[in-house]
Amino acid sequence: MNYHFVWSTKYRRKVLVGDVAETLTDLHVSIAQDKGFILNTQEVMPDYVHLFITAHPKFAPATIVKIMKGITAKKLFEQYPSLRNVLGEGHLWNPSYYVGTCGDTPKEVIQKYLETQKVM
């Protein structure tokens, strides 16, 4: 199954910049490899994340999000403790997220959309 995920930082704080963004990008790749997902495309914006993932149908979308958000938050807080102060309450991610499946839409259309996000 192909999924397009989007989630934002708590209070839409623009903390995903510089080294934090680079570390997050690497974490997404590492987690995907470890869990058997294919990370087709990703865009890390200052206050939100786009991921285009192919995963076996045995993984519910909610499970994929829980894995990605949980591990990245834990690792980023360990590596960048000052993030906790900026975000308050110690939560990196907003509890909500968007997920869309790619049925009739070709993967290339979604990948092109994600690649143009930083241009806007």
In 1-120, which ranges are continuous DSSP H helix? Answer: 18-35, 61-79, 82-87, 107-115
Task: Give bridge partners of residue 48 from the DSSP assignment.
Answer: 8
CB–CB of 40/107 below 8 Å?
A: yes
Phi, psi (5° rounding) for residue 59?
-95, 115
Catalytic status, residue 97: no
Catalytic member of 11, 80, 98, 113: 113
Other C-beta atoms lying within 10 Å of the C-beta of residue 3: 20
Q: Report, as residue numbers or ranges, the catalytic residues.
A: 113
